[in-house]
Amino acid sequence: MHYILAPILTILIATLQAAEPWIIAHRGASHDAPENTLPAFELAWKQGADGIEGDFHLTADKKIVCIHDFDTKRVSGEKLIISQTNLADLQRLDVGSWKSPQWKDVRMPTLDDVLKTVPEKKKIFIEIKSNQEIIPFLIESLKKSNLPREQIVIISFNQKVISTIREQAPDLVANWLTAFHNKSPLSPSVDEIGKTLMQLRASGIGIQADARVDHPFAQNILQQGHGLHVWTVDDGTIAKRFRAMGVASITTNRPAWLRTQLDQGKGAP
């Protein structure tokens, strides 16, 4: 029995690893449009992205808004602290002009707004920037959207957010994010990552596209049964290298361009 199953399992693993990774648009098609805005997300879909990634905070009046930073200075020129400001005051700001005059008067969307853009069978990676206080409001928003659970991926650097999601909404995919320290060997190590994922009961890991990550590192994560995702890649050679490792998704600012790069190098590491 084992002699029969072993080659079948080997073929199955090889097939899964050979699958093309999802191309996830980082803050939307943010190379071409203002990040974390509806134009950026809508453009990502037009560019053929398999999914979008956006950053989300809880406002003072308990609404979920899409913006990366903890304040609005970089994208609007006016500094308002997200957690201390009501949604209406945040949405009066122009968050598009900083990118280009053509995006003048673009406003900050809510999570509800962004969820409405997601086409059938496409993915949304929801990066939580707030603490676990946001989770009940997040779950309610997702229920209201009627978006199938298989299209939703929750991601966060905050370990407590991931563990709480897995406790309160175990049907949701929740991936822990980590960056690596500028020292050798890699820190956190593959063993440390594995232990953290088990403790959090996380669905997978989203790692920084660090040149020190190699095939054995990736295989270790995959063989533990965890999903492996990589961010943020705007280089065709790097994307091909991670594809060869078997990552499930590659997050990029340039979804259409990166897909072209990958299509040109199918079968190449």
pLDDT average per 10 residues of sequence, the chain (269 residues): 42 52 98 98 98 98 98 98 98 98 98 98 98 98 97 98 98 97 89 97 97 96 96 98 98 98 71
How large is the greatest C-alpha to C-alpha distance in the chain, in angstroms?
Answer: 67
Alpha helices for 116-173 (secondary structure H): 135-145, 159-168
Distance CA 200, CA 152 (A): 18
pLDDT of residue 265: 56
> Is the CB of residue 18 less than 8 Å from the CB of residue 254?
no
Assigned superfamily of 21-69+109-264: Phosphatidylinositol (PI) phosphodiesterase (3.20.20.190)
pLDDT of residue 4: 46
pLDDT of residue 185: 87
Nearest to 54 by CA among 26, 16, 29: 26
Nearest to 165 by CA among 129, 190, 197, 201: 201
> Is the CB of residue 114 less than 8 Å from the CB of residue 38?
yes
Centroid of chain to Cα 15: 24
Global pTM reads 0.92
Sequence-ordered strand ranges (E) for the chain = 22-26, 51-58, 64-66, 123-128, 152-156, 173-178, 204-208, 227-231, 249-252
> Is the CB of residue 51 less than 8 Å from the CB of residue 249?
yes
227 C-beta neighbours (distance < 10 Å), count = 18
> Is the CB of residue 58 less than 8 Å from the CB of residue 83?
yes
Distance CA 236, CA 258 (A): 6
Residue with tokens 């990029």, as numbered in its chain: 252
Nearest to 106 by CA among 37, 40, 29: 37
In the chain, where are the structural domains located? 21-69+109-264
pLDDT of residue 236: 97
Which residues, in sequence order, are bridge partners of residue 229?
A: 206, 249
pLDDT of residue 182: 85
